[in-house]
Amino acid sequence: MGRHFSDPRYALAFAGAIMGAGGAVAAECPCDIYEKGGTPCVAAHSTVRALYSDYDGPLYQVRRTSDGTTMNIDVRSPGGFADAAAQDSFLNGKAGTISKIYDQSPNHNDFVKAPKGGFLHNGGLEADAKAAKIKLNGYPVYGVKTTMSWDNEAGSVGYRNNATKNIATGNDPEGMYMVCGGRYYNEWCCFDYGNAQTDNTADAPAIMETVYFGNSTQWGHGAGNGPWVMADLEWGLFAGGALVNNDNTPIDADYVTGMVKGDSTNRYAIKGGDAQSGALKTMYEGPRPKDYYPMKKEGAIVLGVGGDNSHTGQGIFFEGAMTKGYPSDATEDAVQENIIAAGYGSEITAVRRNLHGGVGLPVVTVRSIGAGSVMFGFTTVPDGRRVHVKILDQRGRFITAIADGTTAGDRFAAVWNAGAVPPGIYVWKCWSGGRLLGCGKILTGK
């Protein structure tokens, strides 16, 4: 049966990625949203999907361990997901590592393994290319699994770029986010993504600004036992303004969105949420800790290690970006909606096509929402307009009608439990006001 948009469980149904054939994200991606909000991306990294709707280049590079040969892994189509099948074919069951993570922004702030310095006496290690396989909107993709070590000579997985372009320095404003695994973390320092010092040395406070995920209590921390999204600002991990911030609550989720931003005044913010559903929570927004204003950021970028190359944290990274300027709450909310729409952990692939535009006609979005369900969202529908959605099998035989009624207000949502039918390919069609608006495929059990 149909559900109205006012139902709070579906408040994030409509914004974000809309999947096209071949895994293309036909609408906005996170960096398009940041750009529209006036805070463009200056770095954008992901091994699972494009972060710009028109990006059609490589996401990362794989190194085959047996002979050292490398291969770029591209998106399946512009704005789409990683071509994991290309990696599988290249490695052919053999061992391999992620040797480079490309920056999708025009700045080319690419990641390679962290250089020597700080706690990494011999530099960082490259991640096992096959260690973090997940499904994204039903498509197999690979994340970046970082490891911990107490051995400074052996080191651990971590990536770094100390010679970047256009990353915030000094007290310049910036924002950043990452999507990471919510079940693989630890209590040590530091699974970070973001702005760090360029000399790998922890020689002062306020020289870095990164987003962290884990349950460290070595410095500040949140309520309960964690894990928390926090800010690593060097010489300390901070959950907010005080040493212990009970407003920074643990995040219990398979996939986590973490955000940190800081402006050019004495203000910074920490946000976190479930990357599969729901809104972001502002864990803290207010003055920086004592001795952290003005900031003295240096503009390097780290992934999986601390600013001083500390290598005892662990985590799984899927995507992240850094911005020029302090993003608005509305922009960050839209990014979170886009992340949810990307379908982290979803076994179902939802595809839409053949949409009709026009003044006064509804806009249709389709996305997986987990647990075997697919959501259809309709926006800008005139009040009282009839909406009808049918599900058919591949031969055109009727399966069910999941929406058949009039709207109240200008938004409408309908959910189909695809887990109730055998695995396969199904067709959806939707009408409003007697006009076919769109159709597409839903692949289940893949």
Q: What is the CATH number of the domain that holds 337?
A: 2.60.120.200
**Helix (H), strand (E) at residue 36:** helix 30-36
Instruction: Tell me if the bond preceding 30 is cis, omega within 30° of 0.
Output: no
331 and 282 fall within a common domain: yes
Q: What is the pLDDT along the chain (446 residues), one digit of tens a residue?
A: 232 222 222 222 223 333 443 444 346 899 999 999 999 999 999 999 999 999 999 999 999 999 999 999 999 999 999 999 999 999 999 999 999 999 999 999 999 999 999 999 999 999 999 999 999 988 999 999 999 999 999 999 999 999 999 999 999 999 999 999 999 999 999 999 999 999 999 999 999 999 999 999 999 999 999 999 999 999 999 999 888 999 999 999 999 999 999 999 999 999 999 999 889 999 999 999 999 999 999 999 999 999 999 999 999 999 999 999 999 999 999 999 999 888 898 877 766 544 444 444 455 667 676 667 787 776 655 556 677 889 998 888 999 988 776 655 556 678 888 878 888 888 888 877 777 777 778 887 65
Q: Residue 345's beta-bridge partner residues?
A: none
For residues 240 and 161, membership in a common domain is answered with yes
Helix H segments across 248-324?
none
Which of 241, 236, 238, 239 minimizes the C-alpha distance to 222? 239
Q: Name the residues annotated as catalytic.
A: 234, 308
C-beta neighbour count of 408 within 10 angstroms: 13
Is 243 among the domain residues? yes
| Angstrom distance (rounded) from CA 182 to CA 24 | 26
Buried b (16+ CB within 10 A) or exposed e, 291-316: ebbebbbbbbbbbbbbbbbbbbbbbb
Residues 360 and 324 in one domain: no
* 367 found inside a domain: yes
Reported for 138-141, long-range contacts at CB under 8 A and 24+ positions apart, including other chains, are 138/343, 138/346, 138/347, 138/348, 138/349, 138/350, 138/368, 138/443, 138/446, 139/23, 139/76, 139/81, 139/82, 139/84, 139/349, 140/84, 140/85, 141/47, 141/48, 141/49, 141/81, 141/82, 141/84, 141/318
Strand partners, 175: 261, 323
- Number of domains present in the structure of the chain: 2
Q: Are residues 169 and 289 located together in one domain of the fold?
A: yes
Contact predicate 142/91, CB 8 Å: no
**Are 282 and 371 members of one domain?**
no
Boundary-marking domain end, from 296, 322, 341:
341
> Distance (Å, rounded) from C-alpha 42 to C-alpha 4?
38
Alpha carbon distance 225, 252 (integer Å): 11
Provide the residue type at 296 as one letter.
K
Decide if 86 is inside a domain.
Answer: no
Give the domain extent around 381: 352-444
Question: Within this chain, do residues 233 and 269 fall inside the same structural domain, yes or no?
Answer: yes
If asked whether residues 287 and 399 sit together in one domain, one would say no
Taking the C-alpha atoms of residue 190 and residue 146, their distance in angstroms, rounded to an integer, is: 11
Q: Do residues 221 and 327 both lie within one domain?
A: yes
What's the CATH number where 435 sits? 2.60.40.1930
Phi and psi at 268, nearest 5°, equal -145, 165
Residues 319 and 300 occupy one common structural domain? yes
Residues 203 and 143 in one domain: yes
Instruction: Strands of 267-307 (E only): list them.
Output: 268-274, 281-286, 300-303
Does residue 426 belong to any structural domain of this protein? yes
Domain end call among 289, 317, 341? 341
Distance, in Å, from the CA atom of 392 to the CA atom of 110, rounded to the nearest integer, reads 45
Q: Does 400 fall in a domain?
A: yes
Tokens of 398: 């009727």
Q: Do the domain assignments include residue 265?
A: yes
Q: Are residues 115 and 212 in the same domain?
A: yes
> What is the amino acid identity at position 109?
N
Kindly state whether residues 310 and 255 are assigned to the same domain. yes
Does residue 203 lie within any of the structural domains?
yes
Q: Is residue 62 part of a domain?
A: no
Facing residues of 426 across strands? 393, 442
Within the chain, how many helices (H) and strands (E) appear? 3, 31
Among the three residues 341, 364, 387, which one is the final residue of a domain in this structure?
341
Structural element, H or E, at residue 443: strand 435-444
